[in-house]
């Protein structure tokens, strides 16, 4: 399914099979998760994608050429597709910030396809015990969520703004660590609130509401700038507010008082391979169970529409 230009519907197309370069693996794609970032690229909110482009950066597949290190086991391809290895970020354990990083389904063709090619150094082994459908959302929703949770500090009370693919995984990790989870959703989103409660949130309510207790930290997954002052207002002195999305509408101005008291406001960008290894080792132990809604590959547009309208409970996954 090919994006010819931002703002246009994806089209079913036959593309030439790329030549495999050393270190690359060719995969038969089984499933590919649908991420909000795909929607931002499709809608033209992220600049300069490769065009034409195959979206998708939560790919589960099996090697059909190359990829000897995986020896026939299932392979997961995440957003971080390549880094330079030499810049100051790459040399200091922050490859997620690499100046020359290339991202799957953005600069490199991704997994909304029958086949995909990836640099095997950036791929992960999919843990046994997860179906192809269940594993896909771990590869971005899970990884970004996990990195956000780590960077939120060590909160007892964690607020999750926007209870979609990422939050529904983070809630399970947070609960397994003994944290108390508070879920914030758009008004009237009863499906998201019921999922949050099923996954152990002790409170689920409107994004603009004050929770019953102050939060120690908050993670904002929804791409809505107004949530930043709302989350700061709900967070205690010394607490952190982490913005986990790659794109957000402008943050409205707010009184300095909301940040005062050593509150920390930060973003989380991309992932490192270490984040991936940690989460994929942790997930089966908890065990994290993903809630997915599946779509056939050719209905990628319908999956994106559904995500845009907030109609997905958990995560959307394309099945090839």
Regarding 98 and contact with Zn ion (CB under 5 A), the answer is yes
Regarding 316 and contact with Zn ion (CB under 5 A), the answer is no
In the beta sheet, which residues pair with residue 240? Answer: 217, 264
Nearer to Zn ion, 140 or 318 (CB): 140
Q: How far is the CB of 4 from Zn ion (least distance, A)?
A: 21
Piece in contact with Zn ion (CB under 5 A), picked from 81-89, 147-155, 254-262, 276-284: 81-89
Report which of 137, 135, 102, 138 is spatially closest to residue 117, judged by C-alpha positions. Answer: 102
Regarding 117 and contact with Zn ion (CB under 5 A), the answer is no
In the beta sheet, which residues pair with residue 34? Answer: 316
- Provide the greatest CA pair distance for the chain: 57
Piece in contact with Zn ion (CB under 5 A), picked from 45-53, 135-143, 282-290, 299-307: 135-143
Regarding 90 and contact with Zn ion (CB under 5 A), the answer is yes
Query: What is the Cα–Cα distance from 33 to 59, expressed in whole angstroms?
Result: 7
DSSP state of 168: H
Regarding 259 and contact with Zn ion (CB under 5 A), the answer is no
Q: How far is the CB of 89 from Zn ion (least distance, A)?
A: 5
Q: How far is the CB of 136 from Zn ion (least distance, A)?
A: 11
Do the Cβ atoms of 200 and 221 come closer than 8 Å? Answer: no
In the beta sheet, which residues pair with residue 296? Answer: 319
In the beta sheet, which residues pair with residue 30? Answer: none
Query: How many residues belong to the site for Zn ion (CB under 5 A)?
Result: 8
Regarding 84 and contact with Zn ion (CB under 5 A), the answer is yes
Helical axes 165-176 vs 141-151, angle rounded to 10°: 50
Q: How far is the CB of 233 from Zn ion (least distance, A)?
A: 28
Nearer to Zn ion, 230 or 312 (CB): 312
Rule CB under 5 A: choose which of 87, 97, 150, 264 binds Zn ion.
87
Rule CB under 5 A: choose which of 27, 35, 218, 320 binds Zn ion.
35
Q: How far is the CB of 98 from Zn ion (least distance, A)?
A: 3
Coil, helix or strand at residue 294: strand
Q: Which of residues 138-157 bind Zn ion (CB under 5 A)?
A: 140
Do the Cβ atoms of 241 and 232 come closer than 8 Å? Answer: yes
Query: What is the Cα–Cα distance from 218 to 48, expressed in whole angstroms?
Result: 31
Report which of 278, 270, 264 is spatially closest to residue 245, judged by C-alpha positions. Answer: 270
Nearer to Zn ion, 35 or 268 (CB): 35
Coil, helix or strand at residue 40: helix
Q: How far is the CB of 192 from Zn ion (least distance, A)?
A: 18
Q: How far is the CB of 96 from Zn ion (least distance, A)?
A: 10
Nearer to Zn ion, 84 or 264 (CB): 84
Query: What is the Cα–Cα distance from 16 to 3, expressed in whole angstroms?
Result: 15
Regarding 37 and contact with Zn ion (CB under 5 A), the answer is yes
Which parts of this chain interact with Zn ion (CB under 5 A)?
Answer: 35, 37, 83-84, 87, 90, 98, 140
């Amino acid at each position: 399914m090919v994006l010819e230009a931002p703002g246009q519907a994806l089209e079913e197309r036959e593309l030439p099979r790329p030549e495999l370069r050393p270190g690359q693996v060719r995969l038969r794609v089984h499933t590919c998760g649908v991420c909000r970032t795909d929607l931002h690229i499709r809608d033209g909110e992220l600049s300069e994608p490769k065009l034409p482009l195959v979206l998708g950066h939560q790919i589960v597949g099996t090697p059909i050429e190359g990829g000897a290190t995986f020896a026939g086991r299932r392979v997961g391809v995440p957003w971080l597709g390549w880094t330079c290895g030499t810049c100051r970020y790459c040399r200091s354990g922050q490859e997620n910030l690499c100046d020359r990083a290339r991202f799957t389904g953005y600069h490199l063709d991704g997994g909304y396809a029958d086949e995909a090619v990836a640099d095997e150094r950036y791929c992960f082994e999919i843990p046994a015990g997860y179906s192809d459908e269940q594993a896909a959302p771990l590869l971005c929703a899970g990884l970004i969520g996990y990195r956000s949770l780590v960077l939120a500090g060590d909160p007892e009370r964690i607020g999750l703004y926007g209870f979609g693919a990422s939050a529904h995984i983070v809630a399970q990790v947070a609960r397994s660590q003994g944290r108390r989870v508070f879920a914030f959703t758009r008004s009237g989103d009863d499906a998201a609130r019921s999922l949050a409660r099923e996954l152990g949130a002790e409170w689920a309510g409107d994004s603009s509401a004050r929770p019953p207790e102050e939060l120690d930290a908050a993670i904002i997954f929804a791409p809505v700038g107004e949530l930043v002052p709302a989350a700061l207002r709900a967070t205690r002195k010394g607490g952190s507010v982490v913005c986990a999305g790659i794109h957000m509408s402008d943050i409205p101005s707010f009184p300095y008082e909301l940040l005062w008291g050593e509150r920390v406001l930060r973003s989380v960008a991309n992932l490192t391979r270490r984040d991936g290894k940690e989460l994929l080792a942790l997930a089966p132990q908890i065990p994290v169970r993903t809630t997915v809604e599946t779509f056939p590959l050719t209905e990628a547009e319908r999956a994106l529409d559904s995500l845009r309208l907030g109609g997905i409970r958990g995560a959307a996954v394309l099945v090839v």
